[in-house]
């Protein structure tokens, strides 16, 4: 495990990884950007190429490359290992890693889905009913090896075919219910029945190729719904899964292109024909989480949805979501109203060639607007300009300039007039482009480190400061971790005799608290990296005074509370003692008015 982690870290630098998700700017020895974990206006997210860590001083989240992916993608360490292994080109055998971990609730769900998938496969290939369904698949153009590779199955027309099998295998009833494999009038009794009946079954795989859900296509006439999909549960979140991605991700990275389609067959038939970088949204609107998943693999997307009005609206919605992640979007518009599956199965169409001729979505969109509106009329031109505004708002300055020139030519307008019109337009509050850019819980306030944190960040990053405060630090007021750190620094300083140039961070509590120590050092490096030695010394002394001031203020507040209690109880003796203590604190030497650079 340690060798695998080190190998991946050797291939992927923290700055290389983070920059795929966050625009970073140089800030001294470090890089800085807006935090990907919370909304903010002032950058507080720091990346240290030297220390190979990142950290947000606003929300206190960060770490090495594995911690970053775990936090950003909401995955386990093992899953982060697989994601980064993919990026680094290093094979990660998840099965070996998972054997070392105790089985949890997710494992039960995955086992239930794997058993169900194998059951559906057996019913497709090993029953007389299944043979008829196989014939249907052959007519759709699928070959045996493709059917087996995507593990397509068949759910018999029976209420009690699947669930007795799974119950015998030890799968709890509530797992079957939450997975959408059974329905029940009353879960408390035994009256449960199979939910998937007389359906063609498409297993849905997660990023790592494990079965996490199912899509069941109706096989009977007038059977509703046409597609029955798994409900969201412990292992399946439809907004975070793209059908076919586990099959496609390697080719997506190789070709640096992902093709986005709508349905299961639209993935499978192109895959069979040799176009293997295709994934599907599976009947739902593309989500931000899915766009981020795509961005992990490539910045380039070609959308290929139906050419009817509903398909075009889906294409437009997807465009705004993809552009919100700064992805480049092209669109296929020359398949004569056919979806990819029919284009390949019916005509033997050269799908790869069609993809190569995909056009920028902006061009396709404007051409459609011109076709739908009379550009000879004022109202027609106004409608085109109005509908084009959201696209223009999502473009870079260079792309926007080219777009405006082309649009001005097509509408026979002066560029200056078109620019004026765009500036005057205001998007409606519920427009998709505005919704995509809405930041929830946005706050311009960056949470500050406490004084104790800043104090120790300076000591850890600049050991030459330690002698200044050896006799001035009040350990009683530090928490236990800081006391332990201070004692370790004192021990190392005393052993060094002539002074410490660099602390030994692999020793004792500095090693045990390595994450905290690294983040503290990163804070000092970011905030004080340009300070001279003299400035750092002054800053440290001001911090000592500041800590003393805050603790005296806190002590005075506590004394005042006790005075009020003594007055209420009539305890004159106690009151006298407290008033004397209060005067001693007030008369103590006033602090330096100059404040540290927090």
Q: What would the pLDDT profile of 419-443 be if each residue is shown by its tens digit?
A: 877 776 644 444 444 334 333 333 3
Please report whether residue 290 resides in a domain: yes
3-state secondary structure of 104: coil
Q: What are the pLDDT digits (tens) for 18-27? A: 998 888 998 8
**Which neighbouring-strand residues pair with 302?**
259, 330
Instruction: Indicate if 394 and 513 belong to the same structural domain.
Output: no
Pick from 218, 238, 14, 67: nearest CA to 133: 218
Using one digit for the tens of pLDDT, what is the confidence trace for 528-564?
877 888 888 888 888 888 877 777 787 788 888 888 8
Is 42 found in the same domain as 22?
Answer: yes
Work out how many domains the chain is built from and give that number: 5
Residues 358 and 360: their CA atoms lie apart, in Å, by: 7
- How far apart CA 420 and CA 312 sit, in angstroms, is 28
Same domain, 250 and 352: yes
* 498 and 571 share one domain: yes
> What SS3 state is found at 45?
strand
My answer on whether 114 and 202 are in the same domain is yes
- 218/114 same-domain check: yes
Task: Please report the pLDDT score of residue 241 as a whole number.
Answer: 94
Does residue 484 contact residue 511 with C-beta atoms inside 8 Å?
Answer: no
pTM for the predicted model, two decimal places: 0.65
Question: What pLDDT does 446 receive?
Answer: 27
DSSP 8-state code for residue 29: T
> Is 159 within 8 Å of 192 (Cβ atoms)?
no
Residue 443 domain flag:
no
Say if 592 falls within a structural domain. Answer: no
Identify whether the C-beta of residue 492 lies closer than 8 Å to the C-beta of residue 507. Answer: yes
pLDDT for position 443: 31
Examine the domain organization and report whether 496 and 573 are in the same domain.
yes
Among all chains, which residue has been given the structure tokens 């332990």?
A: 484
548 backbone φψ class: left, alpha, beta (φ>0; ψ -120 to 50): alpha
If asked whether residues 276 and 192 sit together in one domain, one would say: no
* pLDDT tens-digit map of 372-431: 888 888 888 888 888 888 888 777 777 788 888 888 888 888 888 888 777 766 444 444
Look up the domain containing 24 and give its range.
2-99
């Amino acid at each position: 495990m340690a060798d695998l982690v080190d190998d991946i870290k050797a291939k992927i630098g923290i700055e290389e990884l983070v920059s795929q998700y966050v625009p970073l700017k140089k800030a001294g020895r470090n890089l800085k950007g807006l935090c990907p974990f919370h909304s903010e206006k002032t950058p507080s997210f720091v990346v240290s190429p030297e220390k190979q860590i990142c950290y947000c001083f606003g929300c206190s989240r960060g770490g090495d490359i594995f911690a970053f992916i775990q936090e950003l993608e909401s995955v386990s360490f093992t899953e982060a290992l697989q994601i980064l292994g993919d990026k680094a080109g290093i094979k990660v055998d998840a099965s070996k890693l998972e054997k070392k971990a105790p089985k949890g609730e997710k494992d039960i769900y995955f086992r239930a889905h794997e058993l169900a998938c194998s059951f559906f496969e057996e019913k497709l290939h090993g029953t007389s009913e299944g043979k008829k369904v196989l014939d249907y698949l052959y007519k759709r153009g699928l070959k045996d090896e493709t059917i087996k590779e995507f593990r397509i199955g068949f759910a018999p027309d029976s209420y009690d075919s699947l669930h007795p099998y799974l119950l015998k295998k030890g799968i709890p009833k509530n797992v079957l219910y939450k997975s959408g494999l059974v329905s029940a009038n009353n879960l408390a009794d035994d009256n449960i029945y199979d939910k998937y009946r007389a359906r063609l079954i498409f297993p849905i795989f997660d990023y790592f190729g494990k079965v996490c859900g199912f899509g069941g296509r109706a096989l009977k006439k007038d059977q509703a719904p046409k597609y029955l999909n798994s409900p969201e549960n412990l292992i399946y979140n439809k907004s975070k899964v793209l059908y076919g991605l586990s099959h496609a991700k390697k080719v997506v990275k190789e070709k640096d292109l992902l093709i986005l389609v709508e349905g299961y067959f639209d993935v499978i038939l192109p895959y069979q024909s040799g176009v293997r970088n295709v994934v599907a949204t599976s009947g739902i609107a593309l989500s931000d989480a899915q766009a981020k998943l795509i961005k992990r693999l490539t910045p380039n997307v070609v959308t290929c949805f139906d050419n009817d009005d509903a398909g075009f609206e889906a294409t437009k919605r997807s465009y705004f979501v993809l552009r919100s992640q700064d992805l480049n979007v092209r669109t296929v518009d020359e398949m004569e109203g056919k979806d990819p599956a029919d284009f390949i199965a019916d005509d033997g169409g050269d799908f790869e060639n069609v993809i190569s001729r995909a056009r920028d979505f902006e061009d396709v969109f404007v051409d459609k607007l011109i076709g739908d509106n009379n550009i000879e009329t004022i109202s027609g031109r106004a409608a085109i300009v109005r509908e084009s505004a959201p696209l223009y708002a999502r473009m870079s300055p260079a792309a926007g300039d080219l777009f405006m020139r082309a649009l001005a030519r097509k509408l026979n307008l002066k560029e200056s007039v078109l620019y004026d019109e765009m500036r005057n337009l205001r998007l409606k509050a519920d427009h998709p482009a505005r919704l995509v850019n809405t930041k929830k819980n946005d706050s311009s306030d960056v949470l500050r480190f406490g004084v104790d944190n800043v104090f120790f960040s300076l000591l850890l990053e600049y050991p030459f400061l330690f002698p200044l405060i050896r006799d001035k630090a009040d350990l009683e007021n530090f928490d236990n971790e800081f006391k332990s750190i201070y004692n370790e620094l004192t021990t190392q300083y005393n052993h060094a005799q002539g002074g410490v140039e660099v602390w030994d961070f692999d020793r004792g509590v500095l090693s045990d608290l390595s994450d905290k120590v690294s983040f503290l050092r990163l804070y000092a490096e970011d905030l004080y990296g340009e300070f001279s030695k003299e400035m750092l010394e002054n800053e440290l002394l001001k911090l000592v005074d500041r800590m003393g001031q805050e603790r005296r203020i806190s002590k005075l507040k506590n004394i005042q509370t006790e005075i009020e209690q003594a007055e209420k109880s009539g305890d004159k003796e106690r009151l006298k003692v407290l008033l004397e203590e209060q005067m001693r604190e007030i008369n103590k030497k006033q602090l330096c008015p100059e404040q540290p650079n927090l």
